[in-house]
Amino acid sequence: MQHTFIEILRRALDEELARDPAVHLLGEDVAAGGAFGVTRGLAQKHGSTRVRNTPISEAAITGLATGAALCGLKPVLEIMFIDFATLSMDCLVNQTAKYRYMSGGQLAVPLVVRTQAGAAGGAAAQHSQSLEAWFIHVPGLIVVAPSTPAEAYGLLKSAIRLGEPVLFIEHKRLYTMKEELAEGAELPPIGRSRIARAGTDVTVIAYSAMVQSALEAAQKLADAGISAEVIDLRTLVPLDMATIAASVSKTHRALIAHEAVRNGGVGAEIAARIGAELFDELDAPVLRVGCGFAPIPFAPELERALLPGSADLVRAVRRIMGLADKTRE
* Closest CB to another protein among residues 280, 301: 280
Stretch that binds another protein, among 113-121, 173-181, 222-230, 276-284 (CB under 8 A): 276-284
What residues contact 284, with CB distance under 8 A and at least 6 apart? Answer: 252, 253, 320, 321, 322
- Least CB distance from residue 274 to another protein, whole Å? 11
What is the C-alpha to C-alpha distance for residues 123 and 296, in angstroms, rounded to an integer? 9
What is the C-alpha to C-alpha distance for residues 274 and 37, in angstroms, rounded to an integer? 40
Verify binding: residue 280, another protein, rule CB under 8 A: yes
Query: In Å, how far are 155, 189, 233, 272 from 184, measured between CA atoms?
Result: 14, 15, 23, 38
Stretch that binds another protein, among 4-12, 147-155, 274-282, 298-306 (CB under 8 A): 274-282
What are φ and ψ of residue 208, in 5° steps? 55, -145
Binding-site string for another protein from residue 303 to residue 322, where x marks contact by CB under 8 A and - marks none: -------------------x
| Sole binder of another protein in the list 22, 268, 284, 306 (CB under 8 A) | 284
Positive or negative: CA dihedral 148, 154, 157, 160: negative
The length of the chain is 329
- Least CB distance from residue 228 to another protein, whole Å? 16
What residues contact 3, with CB distance under 8 A and at least 6 apart? Answer: 11, 149, 178, 179, 180, 181
58 counts as catalytic? yes
| Sole binder of another protein in the list 282, 306, 309, 311 (CB under 8 A) | 282
- Least CB distance from residue 245 to another protein, whole Å? 13
Strand, helix or coil for residue 325: coil
| Sole binder of another protein in the list 20, 90, 277, 283 (CB under 8 A) | 283
Of residues 172 through 211, those in contact with another protein by CB under 8 A are 200
3 counts as catalytic? no
Stretch that binds another protein, among 74-82, 156-164, 238-246, 280-288 (CB under 8 A): 280-288
* Closest CB to another protein among residues 143, 286: 286
Specify whether the CB–CB gap between 177 and 215 falls below 8 A: no
> With CB under 8 A, what is the number of residues at the site for another protein?
9
Say how many C-beta atoms besides its own lie within 10 A of residue 55's C-beta. 9
SS3 assignment for 170-216? EEHHHCCCEEECCCCCCCCCCCCCEEEECCCCEEEEECCCHHHHHHH
Binding-site string for another protein from residue 230 to residue 269, where x marks contact by CB under 8 A and - marks none: ----------------------x-----------------
* Closest CB to another protein among residues 20, 325: 325
Strand, helix or coil for residue 102: helix
| Sole binder of another protein in the list 279, 301, 326, 328 (CB under 8 A) | 279
CA 129 to chain centre: 12
- Least CB distance from residue 266 to another protein, whole Å? 23
Query: Residues 3, 24, 127, 171: which is the catalytic one?
Result: 127
* Closest CB to another protein among residues 182, 272: 272
The residues of the shown chain that bind another protein, judged by CB under 8 A, are 200, 252, 279-284, 322
